[in-house]
Chains A and B, each alone.
Chain A
Amino acid sequence: MSDDFSEFLDVFFEECAEGLDVMESGLLALDGGTPDGEAINTIFRAAHSIKGGAATFDFPRLADFTHTVEALLDRMRDGRRAVTRDAVDLLLAAVDALRGMVAASRAGEPLDEARAADLKRDLEAAMDAPAASAAGETAAPTPAVQDGAEPATGWRIRFVPAEEMLARGNDPLHILRALEELGRLEVRTDGAGLPALDALDTTRCHLGFDLTLHGTVSEVQVREVFAWVDGECELHVAPLDPAAASPPAAVGRDEPEPHAAHDPTTDPEAPVDTTATAEPPAAVPSAAPPALVPAPRAGPAVASAAAKPQAAPAPTGGGEAGSIRVGIEKVDGLINLVGELVITQSMLSSIAEGANGVDLEKLRDGVAQLVRNTRELQEMAMQIRMLPIATSFNRFPRLVRDLGARLGKQVELRIEGGGTELDKTVLEKIGDPLVHLVRNSMDHGIERPEQRRAAGKPDIGVLTLAARHEGGNIVIEVGDDGAGLDTARILAKARERGLVGVDEDLTEAQVHDLVFRAGFSTAEQVSDVSGRGVGMDVVRRNIQELGGAVTVTSAAGTGSTFTIRLPLTLAILDGQLVRVGAQIYILSLLSVVESVQVKPGLVSRVAGHTEVFALRGRYIPVVRLHRLFGIDADSARLEDGLLVVVEAAGRRVALFIDELLGQQQVVIKSLESNYRHVQGLSGATILGDGRVALILDVPRLIQRELAAGRGAALAAVDPAA
């Protein structure tokens, strides 16, 4: 049961996250034009669901805050409150606050009460008729409940259903059953209203009831039973022992009017307040949570939130990464394939059982089929982890809007290819680099309106986020129609910092690539938007860690485009197998440029130890893998083996190996989780023959080598030296 409940909670939290996304994108859409009713309604519904869930799953503060948000939305919906930019801003801030509250609730941490209280005040102020009605709603019922709450030893009840009461599915029998649950019930039927048999309509109710209920029951409890038929029956409730009922309550209710049931002092909510039957009203707030959720389940989350924020209970933990929503067709496909596989397997088993020469051919066919099925199954299983990149893109409308306002720039965001799918792990890790690139484009790329006008461009800049598949990779582009990279300034700066030699000639593309170098920033002044110490070098490194690459193309005056190329998944790699001594290593095929056999004369040493070799006029450092990993190679002489030139971020090294083996797709196994992190390795895999092969982390190897050998000096070395 407790597991079931935490499962509900997980669903609830996911729903909250989705609802908040709906609210945010809905609010952003409201921003521009005239609001349409359905748009506000959608936002309202999302808020409403969060509120309902929060109350049900016992997050009263979350429910309360959402209630205020909902109330403002309600006013916007029916036109009592205009949809202004300020109101939208406020609601967006409320969405952010709710996100924080949801995250804190999920982690079992305390909520940011001060922020919530501030926002709540603002939200209430934003309603045209503040607080008054809201206060009335909650304050009024209390005295009313107390009014009828005093129990009597029994009640005399006259109940005459209106004829059409049955039409709503209410049966007097249901009501009698409910009364029986309260105490001993005597029923006398009054058939005075019965028509003649030929006039009897079975869809109408013709009977009246005189009831006597024995038991210590309050009037509220009795009236609660009749709440659903309020106004559809004649109802009189009087205490059996008149002394037990408070005099003012007795007066009005003895009046033989059909309106007696409409007693305005009776709280309309009371009948359905589940605690009213069991507890005196004063205990309602404290009684509600345990009543709703049996103590052992809700208890820990609530209690620990107050007492020990760090010791959050495990069941709801695990964070957002723990689960994934996938399209049903993916799961169907997977189930289907597993079925196929089972069939193939049973076919193979039966052939193997009575195997003879004739069956060999069948066996071969069977194995071929098994291979096919397995591959498809694997692809399908990978599919399940694939999510559309829109889940990452969706945060940008908000970011662009907020940032544009802060920078005084007008920017239109265009999103293309949001449906392009990629692995959830890659998706999660690509978020930050993308944010950085978008910020960078808004800060340095797109100009202010007046500058744009002067350049003959429209005031509103265009920022494009586009994704597409390209041969086993996903390509993401962040483009702007801004000023473009300033080649002269970048070069000047690079020279100033010694990144580029004074007389060194670089192509324009090489100059542009310098923006990815560590410690490089061309911003005239450090703004609070992008120049916060995190440079483009970090973006490049993050993307490389995902096995991808980032490049930039730019044209002065027309804008820049940053292009990210990533593998679709981190679970499978197109690998090049290489052998060093008895070991097999795997290189990502994407990183391999070429492999060459070296002539002794082409290799030279720099600074006494770093070997470099000249390849078509370019000097490339050599990394001896056998030395790096401390193993024996067939030969230590470079000319006996092969040099594999690998590249990352536009820089190359040559790996010295004994032999080039085949290429194949390998499934990446984490070294961290199976062993521990090892420098220079990004993982391992198991080969077809059961051997373990290590996967080389090429970007890190290159980085390490260039850092150690200060590769910048290489350019000056003469190959003959």
Chain B
Amino acid sequence: MARVLAVDDSPSMRRMVSFTLRNAGHEVIEACDGEEAYELAAREQVELVLTDINMPRMDGVTLIAKLRALPQYRHTPILTLTTESGEAKKNEGRAAGATGWIVKPFHPEKLTEVVARLVG
């Protein structure tokens, strides 16, 4: 089971993600924006990052670019949590180095499945 970093400025979304993944046996660390996430990720290695795009202080796209610049995160799966209208953001996330995306609203089982595939 993996250590996952969940990044979202919305506590309910964060808790939903954490709850789902913890139920699946993963360890989840939470951060409320890109800046906090970057600090956490730089301090301790995580095997998967799940991040929102729109956040105060540091957005998801910047976070991804900064993480990819760290040698220990060059190949770590990083997924964005995005909304159905976020086509442009989705591509922006990919351009910054995101592995893929999960669309909000997400299906808890789907999330577990995707995570299992990436870190299993």
Contact = CB atoms under 8 A, between A and B. Distances in A.
Contacts of B72: none
Given A56-B105, A67-B85, A228 B99 contact: yes
A4 B99 contact: no
B62 interface: no
Contact of B12 (A15, A58, A273): A15
A178 interface: yes
A166 interface: yes
B19 A15 contact: no
Contacts of A52: 10, 13, 52, 81, 83, 104-105
Contact of A42 (B13, B56, B76, B105): B56
B1 interface: no
B117 A178 contact: yes
Interface in A37-64: 42, 44-45, 48-49, 51-53, 55-58, 63
Contact of B54 (A48, A56, A170, A228): A48
Contacts of A48: 54, 83
Interface in A359-400: none
B90 to A, nearest CB: 8
Contacts of B77: 169-170, 174
Contacts, number: 107
Interface string B61-105: 000000010000011111001011101000000100111111111
Interface in A605-640: none
Contacts of A227: 100
Given A227-B100, A269-B84, A169 B11 contact: no
Nearest to A277: B110
A272 interface: yes
Contacts of B76: 169
Contacts of A58: 105
Nearest to B102: A272
A56 B103 contact: no
B74 A274 contact: no
A20 to B, nearest CB: 13
A71 interface: yes
A525 interface: no
Contact of B74 (A11, A167, A174): A167
A15 B11 contact: yes
A291 B107 contact: yes
Given A168-B94, A169-B76, A227-B100, A292 B107 contact: yes
Given A56-B105, A167-B97, A71 B85 contact: yes
Interface string A246-273: 0000000000000000000000110011
A181 interface: yes
Which of A49, A52, A71 has the most chain B CB within a 10 Å cutoff? Answer: A52
A288 B106 CA distance: 10
B75 A45 contact: no
A168 B93 CA distance: 10
A275 B84 CA distance: 14
Contact of B110 (A45, A70, A269, A274): A274
Contact of B99 (A67, A169, A181): A169
Contact of A169 (B15, B78, B83, B106): B78
A-B pairs, top 8 by smallest CB distance, nearest first, are: A228-B100, A169-B99, A274-B107, A55-B105, A169-B77, A12-B12, A56-B105, A11-B12
Interface of B: 9-13, 15-16, 19, 52, 54-56, 68, 74-78, 81, 83-85, 87, 94, 97-108, 110, 113, 117-118, 120
Interface of A: 4, 8, 11-12, 15, 42, 44-45, 48-49, 51-53, 55-58, 63, 67, 70-71, 137, 166-171, 174, 177-178, 181, 203, 227-228, 268-269, 272-275, 288, 291-292
